[in-house]
Every structure is written in C-alpha cells, then in structure tokens.
Chains A and B, each alone.
Chain A
Amino acid sequence: MNRELKSVGKGVRKKDAMQLLLGKPAYVDDVTPSDCLVVKVLRSPHAHALIREIKTDVAEKVPGIAEIFTYKDVPQKRFTMAGQTYPEPSPYDRLILDQRVRFVGDAVAIVAGEDERAVDKALRLIKVQYDVLPAVLDFHEALDNEILVHPEENWKALCDVGADNKRNLCAQGMESDGDVDAVIEDCDITFTRTFHTKACHQAMMETFRTYTEIDPYGRLHVVSSTQIVFHARRILAHALDIPKSKIHVEKPRIGGGFGAKQTLIAEIYPAFVTWTTGRPAKMIYSRKECQTSGSPRHEMEVTVRIGANRDGTIRALDVHTLSNTGAFGEHGPTTVGLSGHKSIPLYTGELEAFRFAYDVVYTNVESAGAYRGYGATQGIFAVESVVNELADMLGMDPVDIRMKNMVREGQIMPAYYNEPASACALDKCMLRCAERFGWAEKYPVRRMPDGKIRAAGVAMAMQGSGISGVDVGSAAVKLNDDGFYVLRIGAADMGTGCDTILAQMTAECMDCSVDDVTVFGADSDASPYDSGSYASSTTYVTGRAVEKACLELKEKICAVAAEMLGCAASDLVFHGREVEKADGSASVSLADIATKSMCGNNIALEATSSHSSPISPPPFMAGMAEIELDPETGAVEVLNYTAVVDCGTAINPNLARIQTEGGLVQAIGMTLTENIRYDDRGHLTENSFLQYKLPTRLETGRLNVEFASSYEQSGPFGAKSIGEIVINTPAPALAHAIHRATGHWYRELPILPETIALDLARDAENGAAE
C-alpha cells in the first residue's frame, strides 16, 4: 500500500450511531407489528423427566388463546440449533418439543395467544404429569454414567467428533506433537494444576427475540435478533421439516450478541406457530429465560501439566479439558478445541512437545453455546495461570518468562493446526504493556496505610480470525445514481460496527468517502452468502470479500467508461470520482457513468465476491491488572487494566478500542462477580440480574488500551481480528494479582470476596497457632 489511506485506520463514526443514541426504533420489537400472537414456552421444573401426560384442554379455553403445542405436535427429525457451517459438528439432538425434558427450563409446551395476559394464564393452566428421573448434574460424573441424557435412537452426529450418546459423550479427541511424557520426564520442574470455569452468560442487553409472519408469497418471513441469517434459515428448515426455499430470515439492529445469538434460541417457537397457524407471531425472552434457557459459556475443567527447565524454558504442555455442554450439544465439539488450540501455541517459542486431549459431556443443566472467546478464554485462564505459578516457583519475573518463551513472528505453531504466526507483535505488546502499565513499580506488593494491599498480575492471549477453510464471507457492491455505492453483506452487525468498518474498506477501495457507501444486511434473500458474524471472522474474511468485489466493480465501471469514451478499458485509470484516460486526454465522471448504466446499458455495475481463508491468523495481546485487595473483607477492586493488542491494522481504531474495553469489562465480571450455582435439583440460582452480577461502571477500574499492530498480508489492509481476543486476559491476570496479594492461587472462577476472606482468616488463625 503506497497510497496514503483515507478511510481505513480512521475513527469514523458508526453509521447507525446517531439513530441509536437518539433512541429511534431499530430493534426487532420496535420494527415489527405488535398486533400478532404472543408466544411463550412452558418450562420444565425438573432437571430430567419424561412427560407422562400433558393436558391442555383447560388452558385452551382461556379467552384469547390461539394454539397450544406439545411434543405430540412437532416433527420428529432431530436437529441442532447451533449456527455452524453444514454439516454441523454439533450433534443433531434436538426436537422442537420432546417428551423427555433434560434440564430445568427445557421447553414443555408452546402457547400462542392474543395477548400476554391470556398466554400467562394458559401457561398456569397446562397440567403436566412428569415421571421424574434421576439427573446428571455434576459434569465429572457424566461420562459413562448409567443415566443417559440422550438415550434416543434417532440422535445422530453428522461429523466425526468422537461423540457417543450412549456414553453421554458429545465429543472426544486428542492431538499431540512430540513425545510429551519423555520431554516432561527430562524437565527440571513439572507440576499439574486443575482449573474450573463456569457457564457464564453473555448477558447482552437485548434478550432473545423473534417475529415471524407469512409473506405475500406464502413463505415464512423471520425477523430476528440473530448473528447468523443463513444458518438460521437452514436450521429452521430442519426443525420445521420444510424446504429452505420457504424461509426468509432478516435481522434488524441487534442489541448485543457476543455469541449468544449464534444459536437459534428464540426463533423456532414463533416460527413453528406461524407456519402452523398462518398467523404472525412474536416471542420475546424474559431475562430469566435468557439466564435459564439461553446458551451460556461451556463450563470447563482444564488440567495443565507443564514441563520446564530451571532457567524458565517451557518445554512441554500437556492439557486436558473436560467440557460441560449441558443438555444439548450446541457448539460442544468446537468450543473445547479452542481451550487447547489458543492457549498452548502462545508458548510455541521453546516448546518441544504438547498434548491436548478433551472430553465433552452431556449433563442435565442448561445447554451451553457460543460466548466471545469460545473456549479460548477457559484454556488461557488455565495455561496463563500455570505459567504465572511457574515464574513464581522459579523466582522469575512473569514478564521475562513470557518474553523467553512466547511465539514469535514467522514461527509455525504445531498446536495451532501448524499454521504460521505470519504477523505477530506479541513481543511488542508485552513490552509496551509493561511500560505503559508501569510493571516495574506496580508488580511489587504494596501494603497501603489503610491495610489494603495493592498488587499486579499479567497474562497474554491469542484468538483466531475466522475458521480456516470453512468460513465464507461475501460482499456485493453496486454503483447507483450520482455515483453512490450500496454494499450488501450477510455478516450481521450486532453493535460491533462491522457495517461501518466494511464501508470504510469499500470507501478505501473505491476512493470515495465513507458517506458515499450505504450498507445493507443481513438478509437471507438479498445478501450474498456469509457464514455469519462469529469466530472473529468479519473483518478478516468478509473484509477480503469486500476488497475483491471492489476490484471487480472497478473493472466493470471502466468497461462502461470505455464505451462512453470510445477507447479500450485498459487505457483507463479509475480515480474514484472519475475515470480518466491514462494519457489524461479525456475523462468521464462517476456520476455520468452511473447515469449511463441506467440507460441503454448491458454491463451490470455490480460485483459480488466471496472469500474463504486457508489460515486463521491469530491476533495477540498482553494484559496487566492492578488491584487493591481488602484483607478484612476479601473485596478486590480493579484499579487499572492495561491492554496492548495486536489486531493487525485497526480498521477503525475507535471501535477497536471500545471492543477491547467492552471485552475487558465482561471478563472482569466473569472473574470477580458473575457466578453460576445450581441447587441439588438442578435449579439455577443466578436467574436474574439481581443475583447474576454484571460489572457496573464503578467496578471496571481505569482501562488503558493501546495497539501494537503487525501487518497481516492475507488480511484486508493488513487486518486480523479484535472481537473475541479481548476477553481472554483478565481472568489469569486478576488471579495472578490476587495471588500476589494473598499468597493463594485461585483456580476457580469467579473469585469471590468471601472465598478470599475465609482463606485469609484461616491463614491468620494458622499463623496465630504457630
């Protein structure tokens, strides 16, 4: 790129910013009619049961009730609700409604009525008799338990992921490089630690919601808050057992997703109602339903065995992950992979051998799904904590031990599908982070005059940019009157700003202003195919499709200009607002070309391109936390979090910064306050925002974010990704800081004040006894 960039790399305003800030109608419930059937679902009170009898006759008599559906009314082909490329790795283990209920909150009946009051009343009047069955509530006991979550014969796995429903197994696998046992044997120091992370919730502010109607062509029209319009179309076709051609899915503005809306949580129920009754319908999840019947992070237990030399050389990593997919297998086989693939390669530098093995099990708790970080978050918490503990044992500075062992640009990463670290500024991230944070001054533990303790911790992270060889991004660019462009995409902007950054790329390619580019998407009928907005793919994968489409469109524009100027297209140069002969003798404006394209023209001034990448270049980052811990109460206050990110070129530095800050705060919540507890009957305690504590703006500390960018040759304008990596460092960095302050390593999240206070009280007692 020798030309100076005009749009890429600029912090332009998000295209929808002012409308959103002024509260204009934009989301599903704002832009769809309220004059439609209200749909709600009766939920199971039992963790595991068979419906012996279900009586809806009284409920059906409630005035205003249109229809009540039970398991007897739905198609009997199993499907998955996971938004993944077909054939999905997630097993086909769902029915819309099943006679067997598998967790507290599982769907028992669908009620559709004229208004909420009637529906609520009917829900109370449905009489269900359950044969309550013993449940698998502890994921350690799931594998080969005699209680089966999915004993059914028509359960099936489309991909070879090592699944076996007769063993409660959703996936199993192992991979390795080198002889890990032999290398560890030869190491000066080795130890094993086990970590536990829970099923945290995305807690996007807009709950799951979908509106459905039959359109004038007799097709099912779905307006939904979804990250995956194309997968949604296919999944609905599978669920309803109807042709895909009968379904049209679009998304308006989305009130946050973070992966939650990469699974079809709400869509299936109103879709079934509308398809069956022909009437428009809407379903809006309550916050409680979101918490109890959503698609949270996979609970994982990650065990890390490390082998190192006394000088701090990390020679071997042996990681095992036990993942809890809950009652259904959505994203189960794939999330687990990231717990190893995105943690072990961070130490490619000196690593001689690794092993990564995993089991993903079914249990009778809420089904897990996709949440920003997608398994990497859990794995990185474990591996980074182990490295901090190693540094502590060796008396090494934890920054130094990372500088010694981290992956460097150009290295091949055996634990990351042998892909290269083609662009990697992790070393710069770490050094810059230490400098900006003031590591030298803040790392030493300081006792404050009021008795509180200040301490610091560090971690690093990686993620991917799309799924190698799988994700497809597409873009269609069209020239219109006066020379403005419409960019059509199938990627879904869920607030992250992908509409805007893709418009910036278009503007850069077409040499126009971002205001000259209008963005449309995502719509399964009108958008070019895109896997959807997940796996940190949009900037890197769809961005390249934008570049390709623009290149093609420029050629077409030149072809029309050539006709107008009576010369060969090869004689022409595209200058953005005009096309000129190379010798400067004549030119024609883009506006005139656009006008010409609408009169006596045979060349469509529109280009569509798709892109898929054989590699998934990882973004990298370093994060450092300073805390103040109150030994009396165990309270941990985050004072300052500094992060330096290598996302390649930041297409929009403002949005990249906000992505980072938002991810850090979500992770601070996951580490310190967001708990998940089940009682012995499988009921979730944290079923509202009163119990499930999201960080407020008083709990984030000061966030300092910087970029130390590399240039990824295969990415658009050198870009990689930013969306997910940013959630990965706070857990290990905060656990590290808390260890510095207390002497205790906490290996289970969240790290609650009461746990810390009890440990410190016990320490004091023991100290007094000695």
Chain B
Amino acid sequence: MEITLTLNGKKRTASVSPDTMLFDFLRNHGCYSVKCGCETSACGLCTVLLDGKPVLSCSVLAVRADGHTVTTLEGLQEEASEFVGFIADQGAEQCGFCNPGFVMNTIALLREHPDPTDDEIRAYLAGNLCRCSGYEGQTRGIRAYLNAKKEGLL
C-alpha cells in the first residue's frame, strides 16, 4: 500500500505492507532515535508524536499514519535541547536506550502542562520504563529545568 505522511516536517510517500508497524517504518526511514524495548506496548521506548500526540509506534500500523504528521526526536532537536542538558547534569541519561522515548514523552508533557508538579511528571511519564536510572534523576533534571525557566535563566 502506498502511504503519504509528513515525517519531521517533510512529505514522504512510501509503499508499505498492511502489517508494517510504524516503528519499523520509522527506523527504515532513518529515524534511529526510535527504539524498541518490548514489542508489547509496555515500555514506552518507541514513543513518537502522531499529530502532536504521543503514541507507541510499536503498536501503531504504518498505514494509520497515512495523511498524518509524525514527529520523532530527529525532528525535535531544538525543543529537546532546551531541557535535556538538565538531565545530563544529573547523570540520569545512563545507558541512554530509553532516552528518546522518555524525551519525546517529556516534550508532550511540557507542551500539555508547562508547569507540572513532580507527581504530575511521574504520572505522565509512568509508561516510560528505565532500567538504569531509578527514575529520580530524570525527575530532578526536569525539575531543575522548570526552576531555571521560572528564574528566567533560560
């Protein structure tokens, strides 16, 4: 089947089979930031934005993206750069394999709730597993970013 979508701002037309997952489509189109950790919609590593909303690309068919807009971390480098340094300052990136999904969902969080509490951060990101960091460093990093923003340091 032929599908046309906007991927990271560019129109793409491609032929896919009906059972191709969006995850495979994206990696085949050079979006290497998108990672797979589970194949069962349980880890959040494959999170991308479909029309601006976070979805798990491992459980979305590529054909579902036909006529829609898909954004991966490759397309949001600037928006991510604004806060990921604060995660790095905690050392919470660790192995990094969960980072793209976590960063994408954090972008979605901050767009939706620009000033979340720590508990709201945890609740929103609950579907993003991380086996290395113990999560708290990620929360501290986001908090430090929000504080810096409030203090007008950014």
Interface residues on B, range: 35 or more
Per-residue CB contact flags for chain A residues 612-645 toward chain B (1 = under 8 Å, else 0) read 0000000000000000000000000000000000
Shortest 5 CB-CB contacts between residues of A and residues of B: A495-B95, A23-B33, A20-B96, A255-B97, A661-B134
Q: Knowing A18-B85, A23-B100 touch, does A657 contact B91 (C-beta < 8 A)? A: yes
Residue among A26, A287, A655 making CB contact with B96, cutoff 8 Å: A26
Interface of B is mostly: loop
Tell me the nearest residue of chain A to B104, going by C-beta. A23
Q: Do B134 and A663 have beta carbons less than 8 Å apart?
A: yes
Residue among B93, B132, B138, B139 making CB contact with A17, cutoff 8 Å: B93
Q: Do B40 and A658 have beta carbons less than 8 Å apart?
A: no
Residue among A205, A258, A287 making CB contact with B40, cutoff 8 Å: A287
Binding site for A on B (CB under 8 A): 27-28, 32-35, 37-40, 42-43, 45, 72-74, 77, 80-81, 84-85, 87-100, 103, 122-123, 125-139
Considering only residues 1-23 of chain A, those with a C-beta below 8 Å from chain B are 11, 13-14, 16-23
Q: Do B89 and A205 have beta carbons less than 8 Å apart?
A: no
State in angstroms the CA–CA spacing of A599 and B44 once bound together: 54
Can you list 6 A-B pairs, Cβ within 8 angstroms, ordered by A?
A24-B33, A25-B32, A25-B33, A27-B97, A34-B28, A253-B95
Q: Knowing A18-B84, A18-B88, A23-B103 touch, does A205 contact B135 (C-beta < 8 A)? A: no
A662, CB-defined interface residue at 8 Å:
yes
B86 smallest CB distance to A (angstroms): 10
Considering only residues 189-218 of chain A, those with a C-beta below 8 Å from chain B are 202-207
A118, CB-defined interface residue at 8 Å:
no
Q: Knowing A654-B91, A655-B91 touch, does A205 contact B43 (C-beta < 8 A)? A: yes
Q: Do B95 and A665 have beta carbons less than 8 Å apart?
A: no
Q: Do A14 and B97 have beta carbons less than 8 Å apart?
A: no
Residue among B77, B100, B132, B133 with most chain A CB within 10 A: B132
Q: Do A21 and B88 have beta carbons less than 8 Å apart?
A: yes
Tell me the nearest residue of chain A to B119, going by C-beta. A698
Q: Knowing A21-B80, A205-B43, A658-B134 touch, does A253 contact B125 (C-beta < 8 A)? A: no
Binding site for B on A (CB under 8 A): 11, 13-14, 16-27, 29-30, 34, 202-207, 253-256, 258, 286-288, 494-497, 652, 654-655, 657-658, 660-666, 688-690, 694, 696-698, 700, 702-703
CB neighbours of B100 from chain A (8 A) = 23
State in angstroms the CA–CA spacing of A21 and B126 once bound together: 18
CB neighbours of A694 from chain B (8 A) = 129, 131
Q: Do B42 and A688 have beta carbons less than 8 Å apart?
A: yes
Residue among A17, A287, A288, A494 making CB contact with B37, cutoff 8 Å: A287
Residue among B28, B96, B122, B136 making CB contact with A21, cutoff 8 Å: B96
Q: Do A662 and B133 have beta carbons less than 8 Å apart?
A: yes
Q: Do B91 and A497 have beta carbons less than 8 Å apart?
A: yes
B104 smallest CB distance to A (angstroms): 9
CB neighbours of A689 from chain B (8 A) = 37-38, 40, 42-43, 129
CB neighbours of B135 from chain A (8 A) = 661, 665, 696-697, 700
Residue among A21, A496, A658, A662 making CB contact with B99, cutoff 8 Å: A21
State in angstroms the CA–CA spacing of A21 and B133 once bound together: 13
Tell me the nearest residue of chain A to B89, going by C-beta. A13
State in angstroms the CA–CA spacing of A20 and B92 once bound together: 11
State in angstroms the CA–CA spacing of A21 and B99 once bound together: 6
User: What number of residue pairs across chains A and B have CB atoms under 8 A from each other?
Assistant: 179
CB neighbours of A206 from chain B (8 A) = 35, 37, 95, 97
Tell me the nearest residue of chain A to B102, going by C-beta. A21
Q: Do A657 and B88 have beta carbons less than 8 Å apart?
A: no
State in angstroms the CA–CA spacing of A227 and B132 once bound together: 15
Q: Do A287 and B131 have beta carbons less than 8 Å apart?
A: no
Question: Given A203-B131, A494-B95, list of 17 further CB < 8 A pairs?
Answer: A16-B96, A21-B80, A22-B81, A29-B27, A205-B43, A205-B129, A255-B95, A256-B95, A287-B39, A654-B89, A657-B91, A658-B134, A658-B137, A688-B38, A688-B40, A700-B134, A700-B135
State in angstroms the CA–CA spacing of A381 and B63 once bound together: 50
State in angstroms the CA–CA spacing of A662 and B94 once bound together: 10
State in angstroms the CA–CA spacing of A13 and B90 once bound together: 8
State in angstroms the CA–CA spacing of A663 and B134 once bound together: 7
A702 smallest CB distance to B (angstroms): 8
State in angstroms the CA–CA spacing of A703 and B81 once bound together: 27
State in angstroms the CA–CA spacing of A559 and B129 once bound together: 53
State in angstroms the CA–CA spacing of A280 and B90 once bound together: 39
State in angstroms the CA–CA spacing of A658 and B140 once bound together: 11
Q: Do A205 and B98 have beta carbons less than 8 Å apart?
A: yes
State in angstroms the CA–CA spacing of A496 and B28 once bound together: 29
CB neighbours of B85 from chain A (8 A) = 18, 21
Q: Do A254 and B95 have beta carbons less than 8 Å apart?
A: yes
CB neighbours of B138 from chain A (8 A) = 697
B31 smallest CB distance to A (angstroms): 9
State in angstroms the CA–CA spacing of A663 and B137 once bound together: 13
CB neighbours of B73 from chain A (8 A) = 22-23
Tell me the nearest residue of chain A to B84, going by C-beta. A21
A663 smallest CB distance to B (angstroms): 7
Tell me the nearest residue of chain B to A116, going by C-beta. B24
CB neighbours of B80 from chain A (8 A) = 21-23
B5 smallest CB distance to A (angstroms): 20
Q: Do B38 and A287 have beta carbons less than 8 Å apart?
A: yes
A595 smallest CB distance to B (angstroms): 34
Tell me the nearest residue of chain A to B138, going by C-beta. A697
State in angstroms the CA–CA spacing of A337 and B66 once bound together: 57
Q: Do B91 and A14 have beta carbons less than 8 Å apart?
A: yes
CB neighbours of A688 from chain B (8 A) = 38-40, 42
Residue among B35, B42, B94, B103 making CB contact with A690, cutoff 8 Å: B42
Tell me the nearest residue of chain A to B41, going by C-beta. A690
A719 smallest CB distance to B (angstroms): 16
State in angstroms the CA–CA spacing of A497 and B94 once bound together: 7
A119 smallest CB distance to B (angstroms): 14
CB neighbours of B95 from chain A (8 A) = 20, 204-206, 253-256, 494-496
Tell me the nearest residue of chain B to A703, going by C-beta. B136
CB neighbours of A205 from chain B (8 A) = 35, 37, 43, 45, 95, 97-98, 129-132
CB neighbours of B125 from chain A (8 A) = 697
Tell me the nearest residue of chain B to A655, going by C-beta. B91
Q: Knowing A21-B80, A665-B134 touch, does A696 contact B126 (C-beta < 8 A)? A: yes
A4 smallest CB distance to B (angstroms): 22
CB neighbours of B42 from chain A (8 A) = 688-690
Residue among A207, A495, A700 making CB contact with B94, cutoff 8 Å: A495
Q: Do B88 and A662 have beta carbons less than 8 Å apart?
A: no
B120 smallest CB distance to A (angstroms): 12
